[in-house]
Amino acid sequence: MSGSLSATNGIRHDGAVADETEMTRLTAWVHGSVQGVGFRWWTRSRALELGLTGSATNLADGRVEVVAEGPKDHCARLLAALRSGESPGRVDHVVERWSEPRGDLPGFVER
């Protein structure tokens, strides 16, 4: 499969629709009151339910960095969950980056 994916609609730049099993890497920086409230545990639980590998890491500036790899549609569901308002704490906004999977993430860990 050639062509890169649009980050928002699952359509490759060459016009073809992405396969639901196409693997990807999502990096999301979650801004808000998300440290010390169970947010990383909640994120790990959602990711494991979706069969994703990766991590949720507290950053020094108060954000949580979420890295997840797996099928694109599963990563998109995790991103939607991060933005849903159903997580512990308060999410003000989420910045996302999509990239090629590296395959270097065993399990899903909290850091």
Q: Which residues are designated catalytic?
A: 40, 58
Q: How many CA atoms lie within 13 A of 39 on its CB side?
A: 26
Q: Which two tokens stand for residue 105?
A: 């993430």
Cβ-based burial of 26 (10 A; exposed 0-12, middle 13-18, buried ≥19): buried
Q: Return d(Cα 73, Cα 82) in angstroms, integer.
A: 14
